Amino acid sequence: MNLYKTIEAMLNADKPHISMHVPGHKNNTIGCLSMFDARFDMTETDGLDDLHEPDGVLKNINMNLSLKYPGYTAQMMVNGTTNGVLSAVFAMKSMTDRFIVVDDVHKSVYHALKLSEVYYIEASSADLSDFETGPGDTFIVTYPTYTGDVMDIDKFISFAHEHGARVITDEAHGAHFDIAPGFPVSSMTYGSDITIQSYHKMLPALTMASVIFTKSVSVHREVMKYINWFETSSPSYLVMLSIESAHEFYKTYHAECFFAKRTKLIEALRRENIIVSEKADPAKFMISHPGFSPYEFAKILTDQHHIHHEMVTDDGILWCLPLFHKGDRYPFDTLLKRIGEIELEQDQSAYKGRNTGSTPALTEIGKLLGRVCCRSIVPYPPGVPLVHEGETITREHIKRITHDMYNHVRIEGIRHNIEYYKNEES
């Protein structure tokens, strides 16, 4: 029971783990997942419906989810937004001549485009005013970004629709949008054709809980066909129960407690000279400290204070805040106490400039220069590909890979490329 022991130790150590990362239930301290346990892990037995052709209790949940944005049809998914992105691209394929990938997107978008063998190009949202588009186009856009930034989605969708194009919105990080005044609005407010939300990221639902929303009933039917292809044929009832529970949470949420605790938290951080960069999404912010690199500072917070982040980049440490609510069990006072105990002078010698970890020898990475990438190289998180399969690996790529690995950013695909070319040499 190694995994059990590892997680148990993390949660029950002398200084228990404080989550500033997904999933949104934050170790079951937000929302009401305790209502159900392993006994509720059922299958499509009589009375429990069929997720791929719902006609009973699961259809009712979908109908309730659809009420979130009237005019849309919702479908629960148990394989995450990844499953929704794959299904959306395949569903749109027959009505699309060209897919347009806008700005950075998650690797699942590229996987969907490659698998479906469609034609696609990449574009920057900054250049859209000069962009020629028309009824044969389908845009794929990420809104919000991983770090909680938002583009002018109203303008973007209007632009696409005025030209007869369609929009698929990857709203993986925005299932909590519109939950209360002060939070950004969903792309569905502006008529996105398909929007996919990961319920598990920011709402209190189990990992892999997602929902896909479609505006047109005929597109919904196509989406259902591909969900049936890509999704497990044994959907988890625990995950579905968690979507139902997260939706109830969403509908009845009052944000006063959230905003009050958020303000207290920011004040506590700033008292310790920690820089807090707020985002459009109030449930996310980046923190940094002038005396340390973000990677060093993140290590201090995790090693010394057991406060665990979502992601670290050169710009800072990303925290996903809990959706605090009356009666939650999140250890907020402990968090404030630990922030008050931060003594960075003492950490100077232990953490400054001591970031190197188990990176492959730099010469090994260097040998990839000029080679054709044989497995996409993807820093994770955020899961946005850095080098695509088939692309030539450049000096800039090597520089970024080396920098990230030195700072313990996980890079998927790098070992495979190194091994592949090693074998080729021998």
List residues binding ligand PLP (CB under 6 A). Answer: 80-82, 106, 108, 142, 146, 170, 172, 198, 210, 382-383
DSSP state of 314: T
Shortest gap between Cβ of 15 and ligand PLP (angstroms)?
A: 28
CA–CA gap between residue 385 and residue 400 (Å, rounded) = 12
Cβ-Cβ contacts under 8 Å for 303 (sequence gap 6 or more): none
CA–CA gap between residue 162 and residue 224 (Å, rounded) = 27
Cβ-Cβ contacts under 8 Å for 421 (sequence gap 6 or more): 367, 368, 371, 374
Shortest gap between Cβ of 81 and ligand PLP (angstroms)?
A: 3
- Which residue lies nearer to ligand PLP by CB, 19 or 198? 198
- Which residue lies nearer to ligand PLP by CB, 22 or 255? 22
- Which residue lies nearer to ligand PLP by CB, 105 or 405? 105
CA–CA gap between residue 119 and residue 97 (Å, rounded) = 7
384-397 burial: b if 16+ Cβ within 10 Å, else e: bbbbeeeeebeeeb
- Which residue lies nearer to ligand PLP by CB, 104 or 272? 104
Shortest gap between Cβ of 383 and ligand PLP (angstroms)?
A: 5
- Which residue lies nearer to ligand PLP by CB, 149 or 391? 149
DSSP readout, 149-175?
----HHHHHHHHHHTT-EEEEE-TT-T
- Which residue lies nearer to ligand PLP by CB, 96 or 142? 142
Q: Identify the residue whose tokens are 């849309």.
A: 72
Q: Phi-psi category of 160—alpha, beta or left, where left has phi over 0 and alpha has psi -120 to 50?
A: alpha
Shortest gap between Cβ of 175 and ligand PLP (angstroms)?
A: 10
- Which residue lies nearer to ligand PLP by CB, 210 or 304? 210
- Which residue lies nearer to ligand PLP by CB, 75 or 198? 198
Nearest to 128, CA basis, from 101, 156, 148: 156
CA–CA gap between residue 370 and residue 363 (Å, rounded) = 14
Shortest gap between Cβ of 106 and ligand PLP (angstroms)?
A: 3
- Which residue lies nearer to ligand PLP by CB, 210 or 407? 210
Shortest gap between Cβ of 246 and ligand PLP (angstroms)?
A: 13
Query: Which of helix, strand or coil describes residue 367?
Result: coil
- Whether residue 285 contacts residue 278, with contact meaning beta carbons closer than 8 Å, is answered with yes
Question: Residue with the closest Cβ to ligand PLP?
Answer: 80
Helical residues (DSSP H) of 294-387, grouped into ranges: 294-305, 332-340, 344-351, 362-366
Indicate the helix (H) or strand (E) that contains 326.
none
Shortest gap between Cβ of 135 and ligand PLP (angstroms)?
A: 26
Shortest gap between Cβ of 188 and ligand PLP (angstroms)?
A: 16
Shortest gap between Cβ of 315 and ligand PLP (angstroms)?
A: 16
- Whether residue 206 contacts residue 200, with contact meaning beta carbons closer than 8 Å, is answered with yes
